[in-house]
């Protein structure tokens, strides 16, 4: 009897063990490759943030900002920050406040060399999705618009901003070479100057700027792009609201330069001072110049110099007014010719006018010297 019960118990135990063994190795519940991936991912996350210091910037700053970009062949390339717009919806337009509110979805892409070194510790992991703690550490480091505080510092022209992302479940993708990918879904209210002269058939232009004003252009490169599906005219029909419709969507990259117009006033003051000086010299020499029916060559020389200075002052004033009138119109067109013309009316036009005026002054001076040498 004991032998019977013992054999029955062994048979039941064998069947139970077989079922448990089969359950443990069920391929739908246990995948060795998936288990290995989780181990590698845990190692990657642990090694990634073991010695990661968020206070140390990955931007290379051992660069002379006065020299052209890429002058040092041994230095790394500029730190790249990319913004990809793939969804936009017009929500509200408040004309008295000149405020336009839109909901946009943006993908940010950046690179951190510190993360690329750490990624090599975990073999077999191509990329990793890190959670809230790591998100707050990394995203605030490379992203100027990933956090609310970052948006208010870097996203210009907004009145208010609402972040639609889940505050408890944010993820940042980090791949094996140190590339960072972050998703943004926000409502932005931007101040846009409006001209309602043609109301109710008016059209307005509104700009939303992603800006990195702290860094120099030789240190950081900003690139932007728009998802091709958003650029279709069929998609624009769904981006407006009941009152307004979207007619065009463009993007560009601009460089911010400090220019308060003080230099232009200096040029104007120098020109007026030169005119006063030449007028004073002409007044002093008037007593020495013979009073005849013809104007002496010295008087002609002084008068021509006065004319050149007046032309220079007119050019300085005209260039300023030309830029104020032409630049907004050229930025609207966004064609190759308009961009070249926009560049030309900048410093190149100033240099060309300065060279021509200097050549005129030099030619006049050489003529006077030539007459003096010829007379001797």
Distance (Å, whole) CA 32 – CA 52 = 30
Write a three-state SS string for the chain. CHHHHHHHHHHHHHHHHHHHHHHHCCCCCCCHHHHHHHHHHHHHHHHHHHCCCCCCCCCCCCCCCCCCCCCCCCCCCCEEEEEEEEEEEEEEEECCCCEEEEEEEEEEEEECHHHHHHHCCCCCCCEEEECHHHHHHHHHHHCCCCCHHHHHHHEECEEEEEECCCCCCCCEEEECCCEEEEEEEEEEEEECCCCCCCCCCCCCCCCCEECCCCCCCCCEEEEEEECCCCCCHHHHCCCCCCCCCCCCCCCCCCCCCCCCCHHHHHHHHHHHHHHHHHHHHHHHHCCCCCCCCCCCHHHHHHHHHHHHHHHHHHHHHHHHHHHHHHHHHHHHHCCHHHHHHHHHCCHHHHHHHHHHHHHHHHHHHHHHHHHHHHHC
The b/e string for 98-109 (b: 16+ C-beta within 10 A; e otherwise) is ebbbbbebbbbb
Rounded to 10°, the helix 347-375/336-344 angle is 50
162 close to 187: Cβ distance less than 8 angstroms: yes
**Region of 98 on the Ramachandran plot (φ > 0 left; ψ -120 to 50 alpha; else beta):** left
Structure confidence at residue 209 (pLDDT): 78
Distance (Å, whole) CA 110 – CA 237 = 32
Residue 84 CB coordination number (10 Å): 15
Tell me, rounded to whole angstroms, the distance of Cα 54 from its chain centroid: 23
What phi and psi, each to the nearest 5 degrees, are found at residue 179? Answer: -80, 140
Q: What is the pLDDT along the chain (376 residues), one digit of tens a residue?
A: 545 444 554 455 444 444 444 444 555 666 677 777 777 777 777 777 677 776 777 788 888 877 777 788 888 888 888 888 888 888 888 888 888 888 888 888 877 777 765 545 445 456 677 765 555 555 454 554 443 333 333 333 344 666 655 555 667 777 767 778 887 787 888 888 887 777 777 788 888 877 777 777 788 888 888 888 888 877 888 888 888 888 888 887 777 666 555 555 565 566 667 667 766 766 666 666 666 667 677 777 777 877 887 888 788 888 888 888 887 777 777 677 877 888 888 788 888 888 888 888 888 888 888 877 777 6
CATH level 2 (architecture), domain 23-257 = Distorted Sandwich (2.70)
What phi and psi, each to the nearest 5 degrees, are found at residue 366? Answer: -65, -35
HSE-CB at 185 with a 13 A cutoff on CA atoms is 6
94 close to 195: Cβ distance less than 8 angstroms: no
* Closest of 106, 98, 117, 103 to residue 48, by C-alpha: 117
Residue 38 CB coordination number (10 Å): 11
Show me where the domains of the chain are located: 23-257, 262-375
135 close to 184: Cβ distance less than 8 angstroms: no
The b/e string for 227-264 (b: 16+ C-beta within 10 A; e otherwise) is eeebeeeebbeebeeeeeebeeeeeeeeeeeeeeeeee
Structure confidence at residue 261 (pLDDT): 56
């Amino acid at each position: 009897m004991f032998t019977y019960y013992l054999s029955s118990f062994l048979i039941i135990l064998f069947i139970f063990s077989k079922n448990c063994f089969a359950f443990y190795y069920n391929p739908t519940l246990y995948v060795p490759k998936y288990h290995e991936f989780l181990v590698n991912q845990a190692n990657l996350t642990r090694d990634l943030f073991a010695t990661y210091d968020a206070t140390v910037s990955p931007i290379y700053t051992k660069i002379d900002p006065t020299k052209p970009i890429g002058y040092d062949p041994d230095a790394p390339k500029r730190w790249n920050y990319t913004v990809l717009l793939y969804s936009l919806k017009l929500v509200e337009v408040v004309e008295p406040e000149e405020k336009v509110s839109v909901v946009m979805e943006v993908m940010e892409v950046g690179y951190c060399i510190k993360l690329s070194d750490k990624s090599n510790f975990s073999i077999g992991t191509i990329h990793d999705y890190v959670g809230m703690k790591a998100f707050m550490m990394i995203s605030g480091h490379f992203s100027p618009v990933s956090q609310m505080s970052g948006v208010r510092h870097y996203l210009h022209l907004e009145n208010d901003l609402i972040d639609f992302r889940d505050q408890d479940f944010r993820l940042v993708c980090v791949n094996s070479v140190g590339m960072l990918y972050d998703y943004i879904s926000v409502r932005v209210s931007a101040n846009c100057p409006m001209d309602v002269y043609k109301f109710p058939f008016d059209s307005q232009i509104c700009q939303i700027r992603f800006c990195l004003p702290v860094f120099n252009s030789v240190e950081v490169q900003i690139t932007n792009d728009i998802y091709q599906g958003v650029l279709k005219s069929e998609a624009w029909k769904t981006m407006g609201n009941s009152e307004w419709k979207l007619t065009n969507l463009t993007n560009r990259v601009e460089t911010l330069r400090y220019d308060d117009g003080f230099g232009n006033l200096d040029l104007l003051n120098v020109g007026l001072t030169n005119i006063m000086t030449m007028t004073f010299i002409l007044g002093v020499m008037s007593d020495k110049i013979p009073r005849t029916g013809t104007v002496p060559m010295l008087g002609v020389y002084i008068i021509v110099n006065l004319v050149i200075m007046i032309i220079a002052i007119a050019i300085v004033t005209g260039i300023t007014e030309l830029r104020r009138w032409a630049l907004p119109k050229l930025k609207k067109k966004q064609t190759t010719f308009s961009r070249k013309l926009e560049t030309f009316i900048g410093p190149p036009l100033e240099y060309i006018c300065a060279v021509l005026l200097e050549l005129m002054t030099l030619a006049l001076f050489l003529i006077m010297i030539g007459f003096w040498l010829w007379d001797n």
